[in-house]
Amino acid sequence: MIHKKFKEIAAWMNGEAVGPNSTSVEIAGVSTDTRTIQEGNLYVPLVGENFNGHDFVKKAIENGASGVLWQKNQPNPPSDVALILVDDTLLALQNLAKNYLASLSTKVVGITGSNGKTTTKDMVTSVLSTTYKVQKTEGNYNNHIGLPLTILQLEEDTEIAVLEMGMSGRGEIELLSTIAKPEAAIITNIGESHLLDLGSREGISEAKFEITSGLKENGTLVIHGDEPLLTEKVGESPFRVLTFGSAETNDYYPVQMEQKSDGTYFTINGEDGTEFFIPVLGKHNINNALSAIAIAKQFGVTVSDIKKGLELIKITGMRTELIQGKGGVAVINDAYNASPTSMRAAIELLQDLKGYKQKIVVLGDMLELGDQEETFHYEVGKGIDSAKINYVFTFGELGKKIAEGSRVNFSENQVWAYDDKQQLIAKLKDVVDEGDVVLVKGSRGMKLEEVVRALT
C-alpha cells in the first residue's frame, strides 16, 4: 500500500498540509471508512447526498488515522489534527491514486463489459500470477471511489494490477481509464445491463469503449469479436486489437469444448490440440478464458503456465458456483447479478449438464433494463427448453413475466411464480430430491442467495 510523507501526498493532491506534525507525518494506506481504519492511514472524508465523512474525523483519529483530508468548503476544521486542505476530497483521492500509480513501475490491465468482468478479472489474475507479482480489484471496488482505493493498496513491487472497471452511467469508465492508464484492456461483451440509463445497446457499447480513453499508446485492446457493436468501433484504431469469440474470424476461438460436472474443457486455435481446463461451469466462460489467454500472451506468459493458471483460478463467489447441498442436491449459485444475456447463458449451462435426475431453475427479477424489461423477462422464460428443464420457479414482479413466457412450453404444474421468498423455498424443498440440480440466478437486489442457503 502507499507509504508516503504527508507533504508528498499533499503535493500529489494539489492540497495544503497544515496542523501539528504536518511536515513529519507519514501515511501508510488510505481509508474512506472509519470502521476499517488501520494504524497510520490517511482518512478521506467523502461528501454524499445523505452523508458527510467530515462528521467522523474525530472517530478516524481515535481509530488510528495519522492524518485527514479536509474539504475547504466544510466548516470548523480541527486544529489539533494533521490536515490536507483540498477543494474536493473525492477528486483529491482520485488524483492521489493517479499519481501514486504513475510513480510505480506497475503495469495495468483494465477490464470492463456488461457481463463476466469479475470472472475475467479472476482468470487474468490467475494466469498472470504464474509469472508476475499481481494484485487485482477486490470485491466490488470497481467504481470512481473503489478503483482509486484499489490502486492505493498496491505494493510498490507489484508488477501487474488487474483492475475491474464498472459504471453507473456515461463518462465513468472514461474517468477510471484515465486514472489507471492501462497497458492492455478487455471489453468482455455488450449486454443489456444499464439500458435504463443508457437507452440502447449502442449506448452501452459507447460507454464500455470509454476504456480506451486512458489506454497507453501502442497498448492492446482485447474485445469480443462476435459483437458488431465493438468491432465496428475499432476502425483505424491506434491500438493493437485482438478478438476472441466463437467465430473462426477471431484471433482466439474454441475448436472443441466439453462441459463436465467439475468444469469446462476446451481446445483453441493455434495451440496444436493443447487442452485447457477451467474449474468453472458454463461454456460462456470459455470466452472469458480466451480473453485471459490473449492478455497472458501479450505479457509473455508461456502456454504451459497459462494452462496451469486457468486450472488454479479462484472465482469470486456467487458466480456459476457449484455447491453440494443438503440431501444430495446440487446447487449452482449464480445469484450475484443477472441480465438477459447472462441469464440465458446460465440456463444453457444447466440444460447442457448431464448426470442429474431433475433440473430446476430459480430465477429472479433482472433490474435496470428500461422500458423493455417485461419483454426481456418474457423472452428469457419462453427460451427455456422444457425437454431439458423440469421445473421453473420465479421470484419478484418481473419474475412473473419469466413464468408467463415459460408457460408457452411448460405445463402449469411445472412453473411456479412467487412474491414471497419463504413460500418459494418451501415449495422448492417439496420438489427437489437427491440427485437433482438447482440453478439460482437473479439481480443483486433480489438476494436469491437466501434460496441457496436454504438448500445448503
Assigned CATH topology for domain 3-88? 3.40.1390
pLDDT band (50, 70, 90) for residue 262: confident
Neighbours of 181 (CB within 10 A): 17
Assigned CATH topology for domain 321-455? Protein-Tyrosine Phosphatase; Chain A (3.90.190)
Q: What is the pLDDT of residue 172?
A: 95
Work out the average pLDDT over 375-386. 97
Q: What is the pLDDT of residue 98?
A: 97
The x, y and z cell numbers of residue 403, run together, are 413464468
pLDDT tens-digit map of 195-226 = 666 678 888 889 999 999 999 988 999 999 99
Sign of the alpha-carbon dihedral angle for 221, 223, 225, 229:
negative
Q: Which of 241, 242, 237, 2 is nearest to 106 (CA)?
A: 2
pLDDT tens-digit map of 123-170 = 999 999 999 999 999 988 999 999 999 999 999 999 999 999 998 788
C-alpha span between 297 and 184 (Å, rounded): 12
Q: What percent of the chain has pLDDT over 70?
A: 98
Cα→Cα distances 234→89, 154, 175, 222, 223, Å: 36, 31, 20, 11, 9
C-alpha span between 299 and 294 (Å, rounded): 9
User: CATH classification of 104-311, choosing from 3.40.190.10, 3.40.1190.10, 3.40.640.10, 3.40.50.20?
Assistant: 3.40.1190.10
pLDDT tens-digit map of 269-312 = 999 889 999 998 888 899 999 999 999 999 999 999 999 999 99
pLDDT band (50, 70, 90) for residue 316: confident
First to last CA, the chain: 38
Q: What is the pLDDT of residue 196?
A: 65
Q: Where are the domains of the chain?
A: 3-88, 104-311, 321-455
What are the b/e assignments for 257-285, b being 16+ CB within 10 Å? eebeeebbebbbeeeeeeebbbebbbbbb
The x, y and z cell numbers of residue 426, run together, are 418451501
